[in-house]
């Protein structure tokens, strides 16, 4: 399907309103999903710190404990990276957009707004995927750390 230009006159305002409403909802859901990933990543950081603290109070096999600490450090680092500040796009820059479309027709303004929201959504996808992958890797590292910690405790006893 070819890209649509906001300058095409055949577009219908009611159709564009429907598209724009759906795009606004998609952007909101995308932002909410990123926020949830960041919340989970923060929780993983806390769990990694708590598990490492617990491990430090036990008599354990030093090699397995060392590997567990490395896993906890990786989990913490990856979850912090998942929380890294990144620009999130959700709408056009207000002043220039207003100046350009204040005198335009409703159809032209809706077409431009929809096109801008599509670009914003597409620009956010790689950030969203990156955050999700970092969180998943962090969860995996935390899980490995727990297995190593339990092994370190059991081997020592």
Q: What is the mean pLDDT of the chain?
A: 89
pTM for the predicted model, two decimal places: 0.80
Tokens of 116: 């801008």
Q: What is the pLDDT of residues 60-109, one digit of tens each?
A: 999 999 999 999 999 999 999 998 887 777 777 888 888 888 899 888 88
Residue with tokens 């600490």: 69
Q: What is the pLDDT of residues 119-151, one digit of tens each?
A: 999 999 999 999 999 999 999 999 999 999 999
pLDDT at 98: 86
Burial class (CB in 10 A: 0-12, 13-18, 19+), 57: exposed
Rg, the chain, Cα only: 24
Is residue 3 over pLDDT 70? no
pLDDT at 8: 55
In this structure, what are the phi and psi dihedrals at residue 91, rounded to the nearest 5 degrees? Answer: -160, 165
Residue with tokens 């806390």: 46
CA 147 to chain centre: 27
Average pLDDT over residues 42-56: 95
- Maximum Cα interatomic distance, the chain, rounded to a whole number of Å: 78
Domain definitions of the chain by residue range: 13-156
CA distance 112 to 97: 9
pLDDT at 10: 59
Measure Cα distances from 103 to 13, 107, 108 in Å. 16, 12, 10
């Amino acid at each position: 399907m070819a890209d649509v230009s906001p300058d095409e006159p055949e577009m219908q305002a009611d159709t564009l309103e429907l598209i724009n409403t759906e795009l606004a909802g998609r952007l909101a859901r995308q932002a909410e999903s990123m926020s949830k990933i960041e919340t989970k990543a923060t929780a993983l950081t806390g769990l990694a710190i708590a598990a490492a603290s617990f491990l430090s109070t036990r008599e354990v096999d030093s090699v397995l404990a060392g590997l567990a600490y490395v896993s906890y450090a990786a989990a913490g680092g990856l979850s912090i990276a998942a929380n890294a500040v990144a620009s999130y796009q959700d709408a056009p820059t207000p002043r220039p957009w207003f100046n350009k479309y204040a005198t335009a027709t409703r159809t032209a303004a809706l077409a431009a707004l929809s096109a801008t929201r599509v670009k914003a959504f597409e620009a956010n996808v790689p950030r969203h995927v990156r955050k999700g992958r970092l969180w998943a890797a962090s969860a995996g590292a935390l899980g490995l750390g727990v297995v190593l910690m339990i092994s370190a405790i059991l081997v020592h006893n």
